[in-house]
Each structure stands twice: as C-alpha cells, then as structure tokens.
Amino acid sequence: MKSLSSAERRLLKARAHALRPVVTVGNQRLSASLLKEIETSLRAHDLIKIRVTGDDRDLRQAVLGEICNRTGASPVQHIGKILVVYRENTEPPAPAPKKRAVRKQPRRAKRSFQNT
C-alpha cells in the first residue's frame, strides 16, 4: 500500500467524482469472491468506488483498511457509504485490436437513358 501525497489524493478525488461504484459490500462483508471482483476492477481501472451498506462508520473504515491491505491499494477518500481506492497499474495496457482496412468500391459511371 503506497502512501499518497495530498496533491495526488486531490487529483484522484477529482477523477473519481464522475465514477459510479463498481462493487457493493453487503452484509457478507469481505468474501473471497468480493475481493476477487475488487481485484479485477482495480486491474482494469486503477481507481474505483466501492459502496458499503450499513450505518456504522467504524465498520466502514475497517472495511476500507482491510480492502487496502489485501489488494495493495491506497485509500483515497471515504465519504458516507462510498469508498474510493487507487492502485497504480503495473501491467502495460493491452494493445488495441487492429482494424481491418475497408476497401472502397469503385464508383459506377452514371448511365444516361435516352427516350427514342
């Protein structure tokens, strides 16, 4: 887990503002399948929002700490029931698929019809 500077945290908060939560932590708390989904989302996006149900702030703070410890992510923000975590992608992005060249059809000559 990398410690973020206040400037980095501010930039990440701005990026996260438009995001929607990709994972919801319910009554089951942190199951293996939920951690796998968080891991997959972090690999794909590096910055994600997580919604935690329940009204206990201390419990949500503990969930944030557990997620960061298990995934190696850094906490960015905790507002209400929304957690924002960041983990820098170490894998290079996958190359975009090559587009097939579109062949243009030759233009047909216009035919003129004459009435005879």
49-65: pLDDT as tens digits: 999 998 889 999 999 99
Residues with Cβ within 8 Å of 89's Cβ and at least 6 positions away in sequence, in order, are 43, 46
For residue 116, is pLDDT > 60? no
pTM (whole model) above 0.95: no
Q: Tens digits of per-residue pLDDT, 71-112?
A: 999 999 999 999 999 998 876 666 667 777 777 777 776 676
Average pLDDT of span 16-32: 89
- Please answer whether residues 81 and 60 qualify as being in contact, where contact means their C-beta atoms are separated by less than 8 angstroms: yes
Task: Supply the mean pLDDT for the chain.
Answer: 86
Q: What is the CATH number of domain 6-86?
A: 3.30.110.60
